[in-house]
Structure 1
Amino acid sequence: MAQQPMTPFFPIFASKSDGQHIVNLKGRPLRNGPTEEQLNTSPNDQGQRDFYRLIEKEDPKHQDWRKKLGGMLLREIGGKQFEDRWQQCILWELPENYVLYEHIKTKADGQLKTVKNHSGGGHDRQDAYLYGYPKGPKKRFRSPVEFFPHLLWLCTDENSDMANCTCKMCSPAGDVEKPQAKVEVKQEQPAPIKRENSSSGAIPNTNVTGRNPIVQIPARRSSTGAPIPSPIVKPSTPVAGPRPAPTPAAAQIRAPPTLQSTPLPQPRSIEQQADLSYNKFLCRSGEVVWFFRPKTSAWGLGLVVRRWATKEVPMSRAYLIQPLSHPFESPPQELVQTDDHVKPWLAWSAPSCTFPFLQQNPQFEYHNTDWRALISGQGGEGIASVDASILAAKAIDTTYTLFQCLKTNKDDKGNEVRQYNGMYLGAEKIWRGEAVRLRIGATGTDLMVVTDIIEQVLVNPPTTKVIAIGDVYSYATLDAPDANLPPKPPQQNNNIPSRMVHDMVWRNRMLVPLTRTAAWWKLIQPAYKIDIDDIKGRWYETSLVFQEPFAKAVKNGEGGNGIWMNSRGDATGKGKGASVAQPDRIGAFGASVPKGTRVVEGLEPPSQPMGQQQQAHDGMDINMGGGNMADPFSIDEFMHVDHLGDDAGMEYGGNNNYTF
């Protein structure tokens, strides 16, 4: 059988977008897409799944939307002179920040449910929804026909006046001043489609999948109410071939402008410099961590009071940890000498308390629990020190403490704006210049690179608010059909933190050969402001903390950016809520640590013995992982993206380097 001829498709671009990745509703930022709960693919008690799945650009359903939109757009704004290309045109990308999701429901056995469609027949229910409309996630488009009037308005209204848009979101049913679109749909049987290569500007070759719906759009009206005709607009440069000459008055449909990233703040200390560098210390002084206790062969919760490395073993890690407990116990500090024996507080879910009384009365927290009564056995059988550590960690999870004030500005009314270099947020220590995980965003996996931490103190009414400012990044992928020649991301960005770049290099060394896709960090919102309650926690490298879940997800075809950590607030059940300010870090721990406990900043090793177990570390000098202090650590090396893939610490087999 002769091979079916392939038909080239001609790309056009939306001139602008009103799409928003994050929206502000009632004064609060909100993810403009499915909620985290809707993105959860876990089955319920009956084994059924009901979730939303992100539809990638190369997915046939995504391509079908864009071909229909492209054909309708060219027909409406190009007119009869482009009639021969109405069925061969594709919208190269959806407008910026518009994202397509698929709603999937399954039966208990994992099979898709069979439900009735509008014509009365049965089919597998997998509805697609387009999110991004600026009035929030409840305003979503259900089909290309439904979205097209809004797309047409975006491409033709120079004033961006929503009064001129005839889509159902901008012009809801019942508004007599705005007539509804008349829709006549002619649909042919779709043919197989060849996968697009989204990594370059080349025009993809693919089969025709059928005619686009024919849509008659009512005339848009100007601000004065007079109808205006549709302008004639030529498409973006197609593949070589004859084409009618455009009219002199034709306007060009342009790609959206390139976003500009924010320069990274420079570290102000060796300690901050180390924490912003790849594979230095997993945990930090002042943080709550899980740590392994050899005497009991169990994991406990404690406060990191000091950390250091040794000159003799540059990649060594040493943590001095104060176990958390109840007010009537002062456990001695313990030494941990490997990152393998410490885990972030949010890496694991807190277990239930051991006392039946606390299990049955979750309203009791660390501060209002009668620890003497529990110790005396009045709460049943349990271990007071274990339960105290759990409740103490939960209490600390709701606190924050700002540190290293850099600047204070005061207006004539007495209001102050203070800039800080870092903050303790819940169990963790966060610096300017590093990535944090966000509650908001379309996928639930977006990151913000914090460039400023601002405290606003108002006099009337007395109010204190803390916001983080930074660039928001989303995980994105490109086709990589040739593992030896991976594509370059469309954004060239020198302001991505070195830790994020190193980690993506590691991920791509597995992703590219196994999935023929390459991942990269896509800038979606520069200089964005959020309340600190919208921060899930600090970001950890997949290559250092989640190697096994990542490898399993990639091999199972589940992608390379799974959600493997808890969020701040999960352990308490309070979720996102008002944070409680603490003037200093030790104050957040209250009676859960002995009086006189002190957090030692910096990376210097102790100069005095800390018990027989720690005597081997006396007098050791700090080393940042490569040479000695005569060979100083260079921040320029770690901030220059072009050279990050050459780090000696990134050896992973194979000869290819993938820097994204």
Structure 2
Amino acid sequence: MAPYYPLTIHRSDGQFEVATRSGVKEVNQPTTQQMNDTPDANGNVDCYKKLEVDEAKHVDWRRKLGGMLMHLLGGKAHADRNYILKEFPEGYVLWEHVKYNVEKAGAESKKEKGKHAAGVFERQDAYLYGHPQGRKKRFRSPADFFPHLLWLATDEDGDPMNCSCKICSPDGDEDPEAFSGKSELKTEVKFHPPTLSAAPKPTTNYTPSSSTSAAPSKPAFQPGPATMSKEQTADATPGGKYIYRPGELVWFNNGSNWRLGVIAKRGLKNNKPRYLVQPLSNPHQQQKYQIKEDECLLRPWLAWSVPPTTVVQLNDMMFDQVPWDRVVRGEFDQAGHVMDYIVDGSILAAKVIDASYSLFERNEKALANPGEVHYNGMFFGAEKIWVGEPVRVRTSAPGVPTPDIVVLIIHKLIEKTTPEGASAVTFVGDVYKFVEMPTPYKNPQEWPTNPDLPPRMSMDLRYRNEIAHLATTGMWYEWRLLEPAARKGLADVKGRWYETHTLLPILRGPDKFQEDVNKGKTSDVGQFMNGRRDNNAVPEQRKKNRRDTLGQAVPLNFKVSRGLDGPPADDVFPDDQSQAQPQQPQQQQRQQQGTFDGDMSQFMNLDQADHGFYGSEMQH
């Protein structure tokens, strides 16, 4: 985990004691009755306990507050660091309200906090005491306290009228509460954001505990090459018609189960996307294509983990190592086991595809170093990616859950080769981290735009902020620049980045997705997907092109459409022959068998085979 840099707030209005209206002083904390943890007649405990500085919830509050504070005051110079309050301002103390049944908790469970899932604690809420208006004016969350903390850190006059928190602000006053030792009713927390334009520059009221360098400069975002192809432009357009791209490996619904296939072409019917899918198989049992007119019947390869083969002996073998003729004859069958050689072929082929890559559309105008070639696109494992778009970046080891949502916007795609055949691919671009925080804006008219983000990311970000705004969550989302002009290798990239509103309803299910939207919650799609080569022992493989990658798992004459960059006839679906050219009987027979005839060079030459070390003659 990255280190957290401590912040100290030098000014405080916190009070350990306050005077009541009658002039009597009282302690600014829960009452003695509220701190009583003696069980009642039914064994129920309902009390407040002081949280120590090293307890998880105490740390969590200080991390969130430190991050919010430096986001507004620190600028880009501090964007690549994590911050935490070293301590709360003097006079402020964090207390936790817990409610549980002694019999349910048990002696051992009482030592372990946070057992919500096991039903130990019925309630476990934290409250920050210390406001000079007394114990009934406590803060319920980091977002609740943040405006007050910001005022402490920045207002040189120390005038409470300048504070926009719900307690100091006249229209943010909370209703009085009666403390009886029982759990009080929770009222809705409304966050009153500070006005950014009125916030003074940072003063000595807050101090980062370590020095930072100046903010790195970065050029304006370039969405890709100077002239993008039609297909690249379509994939970069926000609100595009398609989730999936020609040549990509997907799961498809086969009626009673899900299987693996490759997108051969895509098109529109009644303004709805549809896909021609070629199932993967072993070389001796090639399957007929399928047409899918509902994107809910498809999933990205990385959405699910690949199962083991039905023939146990094949699990640790590579696709090309398998004696498929013997397998199909049943020589590897085991009594009592159901065998499916087609499925086994697709599983082993998918692993090879996942571990492979090939590049296409050389950028001849790029300024390249000796031995380097720049490309505009790449088949990266199961997916097709372009320069100018975001890809998901690993922040932990493969197979380990990624704590942060991080992307790299590709500016350059560079391959360096050697005469010996070694290939090293470098992604060059800006790295961004997804950040959520209390909204600093009063209404959508104040929302800024980030011209450095690709249009798809900008539209998706606005969508997520609109959902949060309509549900009055008080939260704001943005992409924060972590590292400009970063250089990443193949192992650093997990795969394509997908829009929330297009793929998440499919992965989560429409009902669950809508339930979250109604609450103002939207998740990043990447949180529900694997990364390339997760749990895949097949070694990294540089392939000449996509056809070379697919190998014998697809029919011999199978090809992937180049879409808008190829002849229109290539995008005609087999069930719409009214738009196709007249075919010879042999062509018709091959198409019925799930194979395609025609000019193979439209796909075979995607790698610009006449250039570079990996160039080769056309194969027919």
Could you state the TM-score of these two structures normalised by the residue count of structure 1?
0.54
Tell me, yes or no, if the aligned pair for 2:78 and 2:212 is still in contact at 8 Å: no
1:473, CA displacement in angstroms? 1.2
Q: Is the 8 A contact 2:276 2:289 kept in 1?
A: yes
Aligned pairs (5 A) from 1:210-609: 256=215, 261-265=220-224, 266=226, 268-277=228-237, 278-293=239-254, 296-309=255-268, 313=270, 315-355=271-311, 357-358=312-313, 362-377=315-330, 378-380=332-334, 381-407=338-364, 415-440=370-395, 443-458=403-418, 463-480=422-439, 484-485=443-444, 488-489=447-448, 492-514=449-471, 515-547=473-505, 548=508, 560-561=523-524, 563-572=527-536, 579-603=540-564, 605-606=568-569
What is the CA distance between 1:573 and its match in structure 2? 5.0
2:62 aligns with 61
Structure possessing the higher radius of gyration over alpha carbons: 2
Deviation at 1:416, TM superposition (A): 1.4
Give the 3 Å change call, closer, same or farther, for CA 288–199 of structure 1 in structure 2: farther
* Identity within the alignment, %: 27
- Per-residue CA deviation, residues 180-219 of structure 1 (Å, 9 max, x unaligned), is xxxxxxxx986645522499998556799xxxxxxxxxxx
Contact in 2 for aligned 1:55/1:62 (Cα 8 Å): no
Aligned residue runs from structure 1 range 97-246, under 5 A: 97-99=80-82, 192-193=138-139, 194-197=144-147
Cα separation, partners in 2 of 1:55 and 1:535, compared to 1, 3 Å: farther
Amino acid at match of 1:572: N
Q: CA deviation at 1:585?
A: 0.8
Whose helix proportion is higher, 1 or 2? Answer: 2
Deviation at 1:299, TM superposition (A): 2.5
Unaligned runs of 5+ residues in structure 1 are 1-6, 11-52, 71-89, 103-108, 116-120, 127-187, 209-236, 245-251, 620-660
CA distance in 2 between counterparts of 1:54 and 1:465 reads 43
* d(CA) in 2 for partners of 1:466, 1:503: 29
What one-letter code is carried by the residue in structure 1 that aligns with 2:476? A
After TM superposition, give the deviation of residue 374 of structure 1 in Å.
Answer: 2.8
Q: Provide the C-alpha distance between the structure 1 equivalents of 2:216 and 2:324, rounded to a whole number of angstroms.
A: 61
The AA in structure 2 aligned to 1:281 is Y
Shift of 1:125: 9.3
Cα distance between partner residues in 2 of 1:434 and 1:452: 10
Residue 196 of structure 1 aligns to a residue whose secondary structure is helix
The answer to whether the Cα contact below 8 Å between 2:221 and 2:453 also exists between their aligned partners in 1 is no
Aligned length: 424
Greater displacement, 559-568 / 316-325:
559-568
Q: CA 1:91–1:466 in 2, change beyond 3 Å: closer, same or farther?
A: closer
Whole-Å separation in 1 of the counterparts to 2:548 and 2:289: 18
Structure 2, unpaired ranges of 5+? 1-9, 14-54, 86-100, 116-127, 132-137, 156-162, 168-196, 205-210, 397-401, 582-620
Contact 2:65 2:84 in 1 (8 A): no
**Distance verdict in 2 for CA 1:482–1:464, change over 3 Å:** closer
Q: Secondary structure at the match of 1:349?
A: coil
For residue 572 of structure 1, report the CA deviation from its aligned partner. Answer: 1.6
| 8 A contact 2:260–2:350 mirrored in 1 | yes
Paired residue type of 2:375: Y
Work out the CA distance in 1 between the residues paired with 2:277 and 2:112. 58
Partner letter of residue 352 of structure 2?
A: A
**Partner of 2:457: helix, strand, or coil?**
helix
2:356, 2:542 within 8 Å by CA — same for their partners in 1? yes
CA change 1:405–1:596 in 2 (3 A) is: same
* Distance of 1:369 and 1:495 partners within structure 2: 48
Conserved 8 A contact 2:309-2:343? yes
Task: Give the match's secondary structure for 2:395.
Answer: coil
Structure 1 letter corresponding to 2:415: E
Q: How far apart are the structure 1 equivalents of 2:428 and 2:105? A: 42
What is the letter of the counterpart of residue 80 of structure 2? Answer: N
RMSD: 4.8
The letter for the 2-side match of 1:405 is R
Query: How far apart, in 2, do the equivalents of 1:285 and 1:560 lie?
Result: 27
Gap change, CA 1:426 and 1:484, over 3 Å in 2: same
Distance in 2 (alpha carbons) for counterparts of 1:391 and 1:485: 50
Q: In the aligned structure 2, how far is the partner of 1:544 from the partner of 1:465?
A: 33
The Cα shift of 1:598 comes to: 1.6
Distance 1:617 1:327 in 2: 31
